[in-house]
Amino acid sequence: MLELMASKKISKLEKEEIELNLILFGLVLVLLLSIVTIWHINYKKSRVQTPKIYREISKELLAKADLNQDGKIDEKDAKLIKEAFLKGDPESLKADLNQDQKVDAKDYSLFNTIVNLKEKETNAAK
Give the x/- contact pattern for Ca ion in 30-49, rule: CB under 5 A.
--------------------
Give the x/- contact pattern for Ca ion in 53-92, rule: CB under 5 A.
-------------x-x-x------x---------------
**What does the alpha-carbon distance between residue 38 and residue 85 come to, in Å, rounded to a whole number?**
47
Residue 94 · residue 65 · CB < 8 Å = no
Q: Does 98 bind Ca ion (CB under 5 A)?
A: yes
Residue 117 · residue 57 · CB < 8 Å = yes
Strands, E, within the chain: which ranges? none
In 3D space, the residue among 54, 105, 114 whose CA is nearest the CA of residue 84 turns out to be 105
User: Of the ranges 25-33, 80-88, 98-106, 114-122, which one interacts with Ca ion (CB under 5 A)?
Assistant: 98-106
Q: Which of 91, 100, 119, 121 binds Ca ion (CB under 5 A)?
A: 100
